Amino acid sequence: MPSASRLRWVTIALAAWAIVVVARLVQVQVIEHRTWEAESARQRERTVEVEEPRGDIISRDGRLLAGSVERVAVYASPRKIAREQRSPLATKLSKLVGRSREEILAELEERDGFYYVAKDLDPQVAEAVAKLRQRGVGTLRTERRVYPHGSLAGPTVGFVNGEGNGQAGLEAFYDRTLRGVPSVYRVLRDGKTSPTPLDLRLDTLGRPGQSLVLALDCRVQQVVEEELTRTMAETGAKGASAVVMDPNTGELLAIGSLPSYDPARIGLTPPEWRRNRAVEDALEPGSTFKPIVVAAAMTAGVLDPAEVVDCSGGGIQVANVFIHDHARYGLLPVREVLAKSSNTGAIRIAHRLAASQLDATIRQFGFGRPTRVELAAEARGIYRSPQHWSALSRASLALGQEISVTPLQLAQAYAAIANGGVLVRPTLVLETRDRRGRVVTPYRPEPPTRVLPTHVAYSLATLLEGAVEDGTGKAAEVPGYAVAGKTGTAQRASGGSYASGRHVAWFVGFLPMPSPSVLIVVCIDEPESSYWAAEVAAPAFGRIAARVVTLLGVPPTRGERA
């Protein structure tokens, strides 16, 4: 009996053990199959990603602004290389990759797994490495980013780092689109971590990056940079920027930012040169903001474009502060208020508006928020809500103070005046294409938003012709074309106050009237010889505009004096 009892318990114990073993096998082989399979793969192999060809960046006129050339990288897996082979191998590799024998040998002795001996080598090196017939050494295709036009549009195009990742400009904003999907290779080894006869094996085929076709025109870009360079040299300015836009579509034909840089030599570029001033610098707009105030008053019905405004007294008293004007003008038509850039007139017009009315127009024009152009570092500008205004705020805004804007924001706002009252989104990229040149993402402009009644926009554009014909913007005239625009001279704000001797000169204009197809913003930062926009920014605008309309084949305005 005791013997039968013990046998029963032994049988029960073995059965229980068998159940546990079977349950564990089911858990490992069925339930946790994927987990253990991944662990097994991790122990016997590792993966290496190899970038596929990066997409090009091409201007609308077919110029290559950024592309790639084929290169190779030499890799080694010291685990697969016998120790007695390492010294002679280091000697051979030294001659092929341009590194010292001692450096290569030290790496072969110190490292264990896969690593790159050298990158960015001539493709002919691949054939030479193959002739070595050395197990554990091979080559992989790589690329070097090239910028055939050097510093032309450098801050807009951007650059990539040593790993091929976009770091600024379009290269950064469209990094995933340009990079595509890398191919994945596997490096195999057996369960004891000993080398197998296999070296690299393609696991997943990648996809080349897509190319960008820009709205930017290299010819226009060249003109902009040449004229900004000239203006900086003549005035001693620290920087300059410009935007050339089609006001009807928002397409950006040029974005100038000086000093510029060559993306291929970014290591030699001072950090302060790397920003794109046209989209990253938020500055007070000065008198270029006066037309925005006039637009608000006309929209609200408190200002008729044909009426006269009292600009007498040489200035105006606002909240115990006397704000000086440029002269004692007396009564001026609205056209002359803008042409002479009268502070008094602009302030009197601003004070006809309720704070909410002025605020609504400013926001509708896009100030205080990014334009959403395809550049990652775009500034939103500075603009405070009416609840934070003081008794001086409406007067300050009329003079282009208590607000900071980028040149691109100002271009977007003036485009709404030029095109009949709709806000268009500035755009740099027209479409993306695959490696065969087929369109992947076609251009789909966003529907514009109406911000001004058509008659207000047309009246205001007509008023702004006066600033060029016989006002502060006379130096912006272009023979044969009717031009509308506005000057603006602002002091540089610093630490909550204005810095003495530091100014920004603006000119914003569009042509040919009455159906503008080109809008240009010029911003000259801290000129020294003269800081008045009429003497600095307006002439630069005139030179750029005259060359651009010729390049684009814009016919002269009929019936206008040449």
Q: Residues 336, 417: one domain?
A: yes
Is 104 a member of any domain?
no
Q: Residues 181, 230: one domain?
A: no
Residues in contact with 475: Cβ distance below 8 Å, sequence separation at least 6, in sequence order:
534, 535, 538, 539, 542
What angle is formed at CA 252 by the lines to CA 251 and CA 258, rounded to 5 degrees? 175
For residue 210, the number of C-alpha atoms closer than 13 Å in the C-beta half-sphere is 19
pLDDT score of 32: 62
Is 93 a member of any domain?
no
Beta bridge pairs of residue 245? 252, 519
Q: In the listed set 156, 183, 214, which residue is the last one of a domain according to the structure?
A: 214
Q: Residues 184, 254: one domain?
A: no
pLDDT score of 194: 39
Domain of 131, in residue numbers: 47-79+116-214
Closest CA to 70 of 52, 86, 45: 52
Q: Residues 210, 237: one domain?
A: no
Using CA atoms, how far apart are residues 304 and 439, in angstroms rounded to an integer?
49
Is 107 a member of any domain?
no
Q: Residues 197, 244: one domain?
A: no
pLDDT score of 188: 60
Number of domains in the chain: 2
pLDDT score of 196: 40
Q: Residues 365, 284: one domain?
A: yes
Q: Residues 154, 280: one domain?
A: no
pLDDT score of 246: 98
Q: Residues 222, 204: one domain?
A: no
For residue 521, the number of C-alpha atoms closer than 13 Å in the C-beta half-sphere is 34
pLDDT in tens, the chain (562 residues): 456 777 777 677 777 776 766 666 666 566 666 665 555 545 445 677 777 889 999 999 999 999 999 899 999 989 888 899 999 999 999 999 899 999 999 999 998 888 899 988 999 999 999 889 898 898 888 889 999 999 999 999 999 998 889 999 999 999 999 998 877 777 665 444 433 444 567 777 778 899 999 999 999 999 999 999 999 999 999 999 999 999 999 999 999 999 999 999 998 899 889 999 999 999 999 999 999 999 999 999 999 999 999 999 999 999 999 999 999 999 999 999 999 999 999 999 999 999 999 999 999 999 999 999 999 899 999 999 999 999 999 999 999 999 999 999 999 999 999 999 999 999 999 999 999 999 999 989 899 999 999 999 999 999 999 999 999 999 999 999 999 999 999 988 766 667 667 999 999 999 999 999 999 999 999 999 899 999 999 999 999 999 999 999 999 985 444 3
First to last CA, the chain: 128
Going by the DSSP 8-state scheme, the letter that residue 273 receives in this structure is G
Is 307 a member of any domain?
yes
- Specify the CATH number for the domain of residue 176: 3.90.1310.10
pLDDT score of 23: 65
Is 94 a member of any domain?
no
pLDDT score of 199: 59
Q: Residues 311, 394: one domain?
A: yes
Is 486 a member of any domain?
yes
Exposed e or buried b per residue across 514-545, where buried means at least 16 C-beta atoms within 10 angstroms of its C-beta = eebbbbbbbbbbbbeeebebbbbbbbbbbbbb
The structure tokens listed for 77 are 């897996």
Q: In the listed set 214, 244, 261, which residue is the last one of a domain according to the structure?
A: 214
Q: Residues 210, 231: one domain?
A: no
Q: Residues 223, 249: one domain?
A: yes
C-beta separation of 48 from 184 below 8 A: yes
Q: Residues 189, 233: one domain?
A: no
Using CA atoms, how far apart are residues 205 and 181, in angstroms rounded to an integer?
9
Is 360 a member of any domain?
yes
**How much helix, strand and coil, in percent to the nearest 5, is found in the chain?**
40, 25, 35
Using CA atoms, how far apart are residues 168 and 157, in angstroms rounded to an integer?
8
- Specify the CATH number for the domain of residue 308: 3.40.710.10
Pairing of strands 518-525, 497-511: antiparallel
Is 300 a member of any domain?
yes
Using CA atoms, how far apart are residues 430 and 433, in angstroms rounded to an integer?
10
Q: In the listed set 168, 193, 214, which residue is the last one of a domain according to the structure?
A: 214
For residue 277, the number of C-alpha atoms closer than 13 Å in the C-beta half-sphere is 24
Using CA atoms, how far apart are residues 14 and 16, in angstroms rounded to an integer?
5
Beta strands in 264-337 (DSSP E): 308-311, 315-318, 321-324, 330-333
